Amino acid sequence: MIDNQSTPNLEHSKSMVPFLKQKTVLGLHDFLVNQVLQRYPPPGKVALDLGAGSGALAVRLRNLGLDARAADMNASEYMADVPFVQLDLNRPDFAACLGESKFDLVTALEVIEHLESPTGFLRNVARLLSQDGIAVITTPNVDNAAARIKFLLTDRVWMVSRFTPEHLSPIFYDIISHHYLPRAGLRLVEHRVYPNRDIIPEDFLLTRSWLIPFLKAALIPFRGSMLWGNTHIFVVSRVS
């Protein structure tokens, strides 16, 4: 179980955000808070951030008025004053370590690609969600144009290669939506990519800048929301 702690001063909580390290694409936390999370559980609901890292997102969740909790396999980097539990997310039954706790919001940013069993992870997420709860899961967009071209030229999957040994499981939109989620008892509520072309002018934040004009020119004849952006954002809920 995750123990309760005394409620901190809100202004102090807000001041912590810039100083907590964010292990995601630049600006992803702000995008999620402003464009996704504010539309879901209202203040007072219980939220859990899995793979919390420094605790940067957990603090943001609390700043939204949520009763925030955090969990991660590694406790050494956690610096937030939000209740925390050390949890091995590769355990087939890690949700059981939290007892009977149910959460209205579960977040997992850039976590699922690090794990040995994406479907097993999603099953645990389903167990943690309340009946009307939602989960927000992000992962590198290996469906984008830059990733497809890299695979065509090198036979290597972008962000999952010998150069990124910490990434074990590439998450493709078609596979997660049609196989992983149904097997885990979850359904897709919303899908977005970040950066979003309608909101942020940059299309690829992790691609060499000199390649981007060539990518844009090559993609003129093609359509598809997943060809752009570095990050998949999946909003999911339990199957009724």
Q: Once rounded to an integer, what is the mean pLDDT over residues 107-121?
A: 96
pLDDT bucket at 11, cuts 50 / 70 / 90: very low
Q: Report how far residue 189's alpha carbon sits from residue 181's, in angstroms, rounded to the nearest whole number.
A: 11
Torsions phi, psi of 41, nearest 5?
-50, 130
* String of DSSP letters for 191-239: EEEES-TTT-S-S-SSS-GGGHHHHHHHTTT---GGGS-SEEEEEEEE-
215 has a pLDDT exceeding 70: no
Residue 222 CA: distances (Å) to CA of 70, 88, 134, 152, 219: 41, 41, 32, 17, 5
Sheet holding 84-86, edge to edge: 84-86, 67-72, 46-50, 103-109, 129-140, 231-238, 186-194
Quick one: pLDDT at residue 132?
94
Does 22 or 157 have the greater pLDDT score? 157
Torsions phi, psi of 93, nearest 5?
-125, 40
The residues with which 46 forms a beta bridge, in sequence order, are 67
- The DSSP element (H or E) to which 2 belongs, if any, is none
pLDDT bucket at 13, cuts 50 / 70 / 90: very low
Name the residue with tokens 């809920």: 237
Tokens read off for 38: 């504010």
CA-closest candidate to residue 76, choices 92, 57, 55: 55
pLDDT bucket at 155, cuts 50 / 70 / 90: confident
Is-contact 203 229, C-beta < 8 A? yes
Spell out the domains of the chain, with CATH numbers in brackets.
10-238 (3.40.50.150)
> What does pLDDT average to over the chain?
83
CA-closest candidate to residue 145, choices 202, 71, 219, 72: 219
Does 49 or 143 have the greater pLDDT score? 49
Does 232 or 6 have the greater pLDDT score? 232
pLDDT bucket at 173, cuts 50 / 70 / 90: very high
Peptide bond into 195 cis (omega under 30): yes
Torsions phi, psi of 77, nearest 5?
-95, -10
